[in-house]
Amino acid sequence: MSHQSHGMSGFDRFVEACLHGEALNSTDHVLPQVFGRLLNHNPLVWHGDEQVLLSVFGSLIDTLRLDDESGPADAGLTFFGQFIDHDVTFDVTSVIGRTIDPRRIRNIRTPNMDMDCVYGDGPEASPHLYTELEGHEGYLLFGRSDYHLDLARNAKGTALIGDPRNDENIFVSQIQGAYICLHNLILRQLHTNGPMASDIRDRSMAGTSNDLWSGNARIPVNDYQIARRFVQLHYQTHVMDDFLPGFVAQNALYDAKEGAGYLSDAPLMPVEFSGACFRFGHATVRNRYQLSPGSEISIFGHRGKRTAEHQMDMGLFFQSSHQPAQKARPVGLGVAEGLFELPFIHDGLHLPNGTEVPVELARKLPLRNILRDRYALEIASGQQAAAALDLPALPAPEVLADAGITRTPMWFYALQEADAGGQGRLTGVGGRIVATTLIRILQADPDSVWHAHGFEPLPELARIGDCFAWVEENRVDLLGHADLLNG
């Protein structure tokens, strides 16, 4: 039996340490401004046998429907959500087991949507991600000598990217690759004074100011910075105009933009978002995807180095003006059957109170979400969140009520709300927390698209599907360039 604490990631453990005041700066209150609780601490209270409670939680997740129904959002947006998650939450696995000082960890104080999972800390601080192409600096490595459409890799096959989590499945890794190629294409336009160069420069300057005390965005001073800001503004537009409307009901999205009912002193990255509501994406995963015409793959079908056999046709995942796309599952009380049998879990769990979770239960991702909440992060219930946000509350599911439990773990509650709403999108507590958290991140960053007054994306790049289609059509001249390849 494994003695890992309920299978939490490095980031989950970091947040847990912060919530329990174990960070070095816990006395000066810097951390709660960024990572903390939106609502009060909600400890687990159960006076019966722990195995009985485990059985109740198991029965709760067994009520989820097992199907591959199609919802309103494009299939690729599930993995785009994973890309966003890795952008705003830094992987702190390297510090697990040691005392944590958030001031020494990049992207902890300001979890901006700055694409540091693509750019790292820039060419000077992360030179292993960059190359020099035709005498110009700032191009990102992309491709292997034996396959030009894969991420650049070292001799051990490790992807050379800003966040290693973006190589954990072929779907998110190809989103990473598409943005790398977009950057390189935009930078080439600038270096060669191509037909888009003037538009790129003008749009990247939107919202900037010469006044260093104005609080506005920093002015890009070279072609690399212009290209990076241009790509970031379009990526943030994809979050606002594609991802959020795809998964959040319009009324909840409107409330979030207006700041309705959200606590003014809320942390920028509340645990209710990272540990519960943003995990709604698990419910939108399909068992199988059409990877390319005539080729299907299971959700856990391939990891690591890619070949042509595992090349994802982006047009089948993100709708463009050229073709429709597959759809994600709707947000609601249904999950893909494969998420109940995670193939990479080989050991049971050992919960903090000593309760043993056998491997057959540990393989159930929905159950892991419940256990993470109740035994480690101790997140407020859905009903408590509804009361705090002045929203109508749903009753606890019958399985919980029959066991005398009147409050629903927030992850399950967000799915319950979406199911009741009938739109296949988050609403209520889940919609408000997901949309408000992402919007507040943009509002808090003076460099973001929120403050880029007058910015308009290039029409061919404005929607994520059209953007990736444009990349596919135009990157052919850069693929296989000797200076871009590695591994």
Instruction: Give the model confidence (pLDDT) of 173-202 as tens digits.
Output: 999 999 999 999 999 999 999 999 999 999
**Choice between 164 and 387, residue whose per-residue pLDDT is larger:** 387
Residues 6+ apart with CB under 8 A from 248: 256, 425, 426, 427, 431, 434, 435
**Domain contains 210:** yes
Residue 304 pLDDT? 62
pLDDT, position 3: 34
CB contact set of 262 (below 8 Å; sequence gap of 6+): 256, 389, 432, 436, 440
In-domain check, residue 266: yes
Flag the least confident range among 112-121, 133-142, 300-309. 300-309
* Beta bridge mates, 97: none
409 within 8 A of 370, measured Cβ to Cβ: yes
Any domain includes 348 = yes
How far apart, in Å, are the Cα atoms of 387 and each of 187, 251, 382, 390?
A: 49, 18, 9, 5
**CA–CA distance, 29 with 39 (Å, rounded to integer):** 17
399-442: pLDDT as tens digits:
999 999 999 999 999 999 999 999 999 999 999 999 999 999 99
Distance CA 205, CA 241 (A): 21
Question: What whole-number percentage of the chain has pLDDT above 90?
Answer: 58
Place of tokens 């790049």: 461
Q: Quick check: 11 pLDDT over 90?
A: no
Q: How many domains does the chain have?
A: 1
Average pLDDT, the chain: 85
**Residue with the larger pLDDT of the pair 23 and 439:** 439
CA distance 64 to 101: 40
In a domain, 419, yes or no: yes
Work out the average pLDDT over 76-96: 74
| pLDDT reported for residue 353 | 78
Q: What is the mean pLDDT of residues 6-34?
A: 53
Given a contact cutoff of 8 angstroms between Cβ atoms, the answer to whether 218 and 451 are in contact is no
Question: Quick check: is 124 in a domain?
Answer: yes
The torsion of the CA quartet 278, 283, 288, 293, rounded to 10 degrees, works out to -60
Residue % of the chain over a pLDDT of 70: 84
pLDDT, position 103: 40
- Arithmetic mean of pLDDT, 33-44: 85
What pLDDT score does 4 carry? 37
Task: Tell me, letter by letter, the H, E, C secondary structure of 47-94.
Answer: CCCHHHHHHHHHHHHCCCEECCCCCCCECHHHHHHHHHHHHHCCCCHH
Task: Find residue 132's DSSP bridge partners.
Answer: 137
Rounded to an integer, what distance in angstroms lies between the CA atom of residue 441 and that of residue 430? Answer: 17
* pLDDT value at residue 298: 86
Cα gap 241→239, rounded to integer Å: 6
Domain membership flag for residue 1 = no
**pLDDT given at position 303:** 63
Q: What is the pLDDT of residue 321?
A: 86
pLDDT value at residue 17? 61
Distance CA 340, CA 367 (A): 9
- Give the Cα separation of 311 and 317 in Å (integer): 12
State the helix-helix crossing angle for 197-204 and 223-238, rounded to 10 degrees: 70
Q: Could you tell me which residues are beta bridge partners of residue 159?
A: 153
Q: Return the pLDDT at 217.
A: 60
CATH code of the domain containing 26: 1.10.640
Cβ atoms of 289 and 296 within 8 Å: the answer is yes
| pLDDT band (50, 70, 90) for residue 95 | very low
| 101-135 residue pLDDT tens | 444 434 443 568 989 889 988 888 888 999 877 67
Which residue from 161, 288, 286, 184 is spatially nearest to 230, judged by alpha carbons? 184
pTM of the model: 0.88
Higher pLDDT, 481 or 104: 481
pLDDT number for residue 31: 44
What's the average model confidence in pLDDT over 139-157?
90
In a domain, 485, yes or no: no
pLDDT (tens digit, 9 = 90+) per residue, 383-397? 999 999 999 999 999
In the predicted structure, residue 25 carries a pLDDT above the cut 60: no
Instruction: Tell me what the mean pLDDT of segment 234-263 comes to.
Output: 92
Q: Domain limits at 469?
A: 10-477
Is there a domain that residue 99 lies in?
yes
List the structure tokens of 388: 């705090």
Query: Over 326-362, what HEC string results?
Result: CECCCCCCEECHHHHCCCCCCCCEECCCCCEECHHHH
